Structure 1
């Protein structure tokens, strides 16, 4: 039973007060669509499963670190520093 929907008069979520409030409560995140290589996605999902986390959170953190110019070497150095000199 297929229905046809007409979205010609549709409003964006930020134009509907209740939906805008819900978006604001989501913590400043945006929903996007992105194409990722299957092997890359599999790696993030496997790591998330091993750590008990969420693969989307891991991908977000990796993107944040890349955008900030943080390299894997930086992460390793900081981890070693913290282990050698705990505060």
Structure 2
């Protein structure tokens, strides 16, 4: 087992100097990760039409409402 660990350590590149990482904070973003972030990259034309996160959310909520109304009014979609 010790030999396997030594072999792995030998594969690290010299530029990976972990002693310089002393200022890092363990778990710095854990709360943000647990909260669940959902990043989406918008195409330029879409971003121009919806320049803020609030405008994107509003448009998507309206689309959800329309889709739900369509499902209620269309028995074929509702039963599938």
Give TM-score, length-normalised by structure 1: 0.34
Q: Which has the higher contact order (CA 8 A, sep 6+)?
A: 1
Give TM-score, length-normalised by structure 2: 0.36
